[in-house]
């Protein structure tokens, strides 16, 4: 099973998950060209993608959805609210008939050799979701764009082998940064984004010996930077109520504009 961030950040998100039989994308918030270039580095063609799992309808997660899906006629999956949001996004253009498929959180479905479990997240979108993806013996999850987490979130992220976990902002940088006050409140709110500190605390709750890799994603361009996110999350793990140290966890920060390291499980 492989996991790779093609792009991750406030300007666009696209994650690849697949194995020898099934190739999936989580979000296509970058241009078709950039999606294709990212897939090319993985040795995958656009028409080999089995499905696109959409977390929510914000433009940094669906920007390339219209052009990409029209070219390759890839099925698109999302909750009812997300599908409604996609239909209302006129910049995507007209999507091919029958390409949109409604799913429900906490109801598993299968794509190729992969089992998909959507789970609810707290974000200011119509009906956002994260995704847990499993093949026969490995499991990964994408959990970004969540303003808060609870035991429900933790349960869906337990016993993973790899996870893409949001570390959106440094609280101090956000507080003193250029965002207007209402936007700062939105980002820090329960339907906003996880800070570096909260990302580390959530990670503490899901750590186990078989978690082989952690990818920190969806970093804010204005209110964070890679080294700060990495070190803050490591510190939270080291000082958290768990038997691990930050340096025990193989961890990387997903790149904003280029393909990140491919994780092979």
List pLDDT tens digits, range 97-155. Answer: 999 999 999 999 999 999 999 999 999 999 999 999 999 899 999 999 999 999 999 99
Cβ atoms of 223 and 187 closer than 8 Å:
yes
Say what the pLDDT of residue 7 is.
98
List pLDDT tens digits, range 139-192. Answer: 999 999 999 999 999 999 999 999 999 999 999 999 999 999 999 999 999 999
- Evaluate the CA torsion angle 27, 33, 36, 42 in order and state its sign: negative
Say what the pLDDT of residue 136 is.
87
Q: Where are the domains of the chain?
A: 2-258
- Report the b/e string of 192-220 with b at 16+ CB within 10 A: bbbbbbbbbbbbbbbbeeebbbbbbbbbb
CA separation for the pair 166, 32 (Å, rounded): 24
Say what the pLDDT of residue 193 is.
98
Where do we find the tokens 């977390």?
Answer: 55
Entry pTM: 0.97
Say what the pLDDT of residue 10 is.
87
List pLDDT tens digits, range 52-101. Answer: 999 999 999 999 999 999 999 999 999 999 999 999 999 999 999 999 99
Say what the pLDDT of residue 194 is.
98
Q: What is the mean pLDDT of residues 3-17?
A: 96
List pLDDT tens digits, range 18-61. Answer: 999 999 999 999 999 999 999 999 999 999 999 999 999 999 99
Domain boundaries 2-258, CATH class: alpha beta
Indicate whether 205 pLDDT > 90: yes
CA separation for the pair 239, 114 (Å, rounded): 36
């Amino acid at each position: 099973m492989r996991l790779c961030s093609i792009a991750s950040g406030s300007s666009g998100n696209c994650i690849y998950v697949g194995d020898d039989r099934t190739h999936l994308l989580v979000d296509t918030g970058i241009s078709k060209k950039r999606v294709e270039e990212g897939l090319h580095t993985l040795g995958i063609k656009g028409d080999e993608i089995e499905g696109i799992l959409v977390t929510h309808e914000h433009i940094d997660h669906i920007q390339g959805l219209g052009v990409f899906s029209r070219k390759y006629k890839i099925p698109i999956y999302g909750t009812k609210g997300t599908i409604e949001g996609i239909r209302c996004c006129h910049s995507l253009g007209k999507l091919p008939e029958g390409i949109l498929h409604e799913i429900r959180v906490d109801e598993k479905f299968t794509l190729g050799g992969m089992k998909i479990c959507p789970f609810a997240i707290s974000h200011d979108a119509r009906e956002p979701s994260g995704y847990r993806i499993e093949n026969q013996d490995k499991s990964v999850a994408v959990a970004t764009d969540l303003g808060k987490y609870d035991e429900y979130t933790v349960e869906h992220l337990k016993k993973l082998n790899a996870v893409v976990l949001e570390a959106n902002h440094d609280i101090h940088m956000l507080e003193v940064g250029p965002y207007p006050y209402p936007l700062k409140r939105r980002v820090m709110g329960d339907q906003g984004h996880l800070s570096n500190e909260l990302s580390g605390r959530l990670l503490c709750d899901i750590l186990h010996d078989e978690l082989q890799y952690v990818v920190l994603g969806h970093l804010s361009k204005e209110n964070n930077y890679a080294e700060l996110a990495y070190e803050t999350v490591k510190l939270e793990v080291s000082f958290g109520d768990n038997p691990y140290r930050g340096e025990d966890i193989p961890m990387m920060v997903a790149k904003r504009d280029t393909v990140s390291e491919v994780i092979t499980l």
